[in-house]
Structure 1
Amino acid sequence: MKSQEIFSTQTAAGWVPWGVLAPVLALFFIIVSDMATGPVLRRLVRLDAKGLPVDWWGFALFLLISSGSLLLILLLWVQRVEGRSLAAIGLTGAAKLRCFLQGHVIGMASIAGIVAMTWLAGGLERAPSDPSTVLASGWHTPGALAFMVVLLLCFALQASTEEIFFRGWLLSLLAKKWNLLLAVAFSSAVFALAHFNRGQHWLTTVSMVLYAVFCCAWVWRTRSLLGVMGWHTGWNWLLAVGFGLPVTGFDMNIPPLLVALKPLGPEWLNGGAQGPEGSVVCVAFLVAGTIFMCLRRVPMSNDSTRSSQPL
């Protein structure tokens, strides 16, 4: 396969890194971002022994600061070093808000369907309410409702940053330097590595890779990040607030919006500590979704109007 432009044919005014350097540079950006935000988070947020927030607002700040730092580093690099516009990394097309919201709804429906299928398969059961926790009060207080909205905005930043970083910048750069298949393989591997936790189930690793491949397929079909940014946001947000289940291994301990659930049975069925994203049901969904995206992709010319086409 030949090299391909995914988003824009704009000629870079600065220096664009070699393909072999891009994955290394991506990991470097992530490390620098973590090192820069670590001291700030330790000052502002109460963290547990694993370095994770122990309360709701701490988690919101964690998302805001860590994602904002990585996004700032990337945007400075793209605009100051590479000399490229935001359109060159996928932030392009008409009806931007509509595309984002459409993806958001699909994302919520996707994770709700995965949780429902896992429940029906016997991998989840209702968790009893504990009167001594905030789970008993639900979302009916002004403070809890405010946090739900704040968390949605923070997840929008976190999910959008990941899509801009891994699919908007890394995928498109590797596709331009090498070819699409290598770009999908290497960008997905870096995504999985960035989300890797030592000791995690092998199925979780497979799911992380397939998650990235699915997002790549969505981006390739629409030639825009807007839809998949919304999808990623809706997926993370509803998983966090809807069922009381872990989000990529983060156990947030917040009152579930829909129903409180807990794992039941083997880890391969429910994802265990990883949450539903590490389950065989999620793997099946991502495989089916990727096939659907590839089969439904329509050829489009390299212009800014192609991303406005609906799913």
Structure 2
Amino acid sequence: MKKLGEVSGKIALLLVGMFVSTALLIGVMYVIAIFLGTTDVIMEMAEIFTPVAMIIPAIILYYSFKEKRYFSLKLRHAHSFKNMGIGALLGILAITASFLIIWLFGGVKVVAIHHILADASFWRAVVLFLLVALGEELFSRGYIYNLVKTRYTMPIGIIVSSILFALMHAANPAVWGSLWPMLNIFLAGVVLALIYEVFQSLWAAIGFHFTWNLLQGNIFGFEVSGGSFGTSLLEIKKNSSSGDWLTGGAFGIEGSAVSVFILIIFTIILVIKIRTAKN
């Protein structure tokens, strides 16, 4: 019970810290917006820097409770750039496979191809998704996963961190439209934790998270967890007769059963990789 109280208490503090830091950040941005007489640019900046609100409490709790006695955040690694690159390639593979299956089965049709490199909204999305990946991975895999894993076991750490990761998206648009979005996000949390374990580097998970989001939204033209984030390379039209189970509906690829299938395959491969390395 003492161990459970310690873990649940620290997670509660982390969540409270996230809400407080988010509120403070948005409040500061709002005051600046009022002072300057404009809200558009400032509110866009708030959206970009909001993921920082997840990084701050994770770092504070990590050092305040001297967690380095039990685990490392795995941010300092001799092969950080290489691991991030490998994670990014795995993310590209996973989301591209999901898109191709949806397209091959007639779920979407490509109606136009846009030039995006000169579009400011594309680069804004790049920065946003990089910060989101850094913030959510440090928060979910870096701190919560390691906290639970070191007090219990790796499987329990994966399950708890993935459930909390899914619940963090519970207020996203269209997330409750079917069972697929929450299941997808939970499985994404599982895959990200396994990638973290395989490479022993948070940067690998950050790379996967980053390219999964960026390609989903700004290359293949889907919503990302229910939101739209600027111009995409491909302009697509969803086939309404195919059903949301295939297209993902208003939630994006993460709302599709196809994504569940791909993430399960990745989970199996990564578990085999971990077990093989231990033998």
> Normalising to structure 2: TM-score of the pair?
0.84
How many Å apart are 1:271 and its aligned residue? 1.0
Which residue identity does 1:211 align to in structure 2? A
How many Å apart are 1:127 and its aligned residue? 4.2
For residues 65-123 of structure 1, give each alpha carbon's deviation from its aligned partner in whole angstroms, at most 9, with x where no partner exists: 111122122212212343639x7112133221111122112212321221111111121
Aligned counterpart in structure 2 of residue 229 of structure 1, from 186, 206, 226 = 206
Which residue identity does 2:259 align to in structure 1? C
| Structure 1 stretches lacking a partner, 5+ long | 4-16, 46-53, 130-134, 301-311
Q: Separation in 1 of the partners of 2:187 and 2:122?
A: 28
Report the count of equivalent residues. 266
Asked if 1:66 corresponds to 2:54, the answer is: no
Contact 1:19 1:178 in 2 (8 A): no
3-state SS in 1 of match to 2:189: helix
Q: Using a 3 Å threshold, how does the CA distance of structure 1 residues 199 and 96 change in structure 2: closer, same or farther?
A: closer
197-206 or 281-290, larger mean C-alpha shift: 197-206
How many Å apart are 1:275 and its aligned residue? 0.2
RMSD of aligned C-alpha atoms?
Answer: 3.0
Q: Separation in 2 of the partners of 1:158 and 1:128?
A: 28
Aligned counterpart in structure 2 of residue 162 of structure 1, from 124, 130, 136 = 136
Asked if 1:185 corresponds to 2:159, the answer is: yes
Q: Separation in 1 of the partners of 2:231 and 2:49?
A: 23
Contact 2:26 2:46 in 1 (8 A): no
Query: Residue 14 of structure 2 corresponds to which residue in structure 1?
Result: 26
Which residue identity does 1:178 align to in structure 2? Y
Highest relative contact order (Cα 8 Å, sep 6+), 1 or 2?
1
Contact 1:123 1:263 in 2 (8 A): yes
Query: Residue 222 of structure 2 corresponds to which residue in structure 1?
Result: 245
Contact 1:60 1:154 in 2 (8 A): no
Asked if 1:202 corresponds to 2:190, the answer is: no
Aligned counterpart in structure 1 of residue 27 of structure 2, from 39, 43, 51 = 39
Asked if 1:217 corresponds to 2:190, the answer is: no
Whose helix fraction is larger, Structure 1's or Structure 2's?
2
Asked if 1:110 corresponds to 2:105, the answer is: no
For residues 100-155 of structure 1, give each alpha carbon's deviation from its aligned partner in whole angstroms, at most 9, with x where no partner exists: 122112212321221111111121123469xxxxx6xx3264xx1x5434432332
Contact 1:60 1:150 in 2 (8 A): no
| Structure 2 stretches lacking a partner, 5+ long | 34-38
Quote the sequence identity (%).
Answer: 23
How many Å apart are 1:43 and its aligned residue? 5.6
For residues 4-28 of structure 1, give each alpha carbon's deviation from its aligned partner in whole angstroms, at most 9, with x where no partner exists: xxxxxxxxxxxxx812324323332
Which residue identity does 2:126 align to in structure 1? L
Contact 1:23 1:186 in 2 (8 A): no
Asked if 1:261 corresponds to 2:249, the answer is: no
How many Å apart are 1:211 and its aligned residue? 0.8
Which residue identity does 2:133 align to in structure 1? A
Q: Separation in 1 of the partners of 2:251 and 2:22?
A: 21
> Normalising to structure 1: TM-score of the pair?
0.76
Which residue identity does 1:229 align to in structure 2? I
Q: Using a 3 Å threshold, how does the CA distance of structure 1 residues 140 and 219 change in structure 2: closer, same or farther?
A: closer
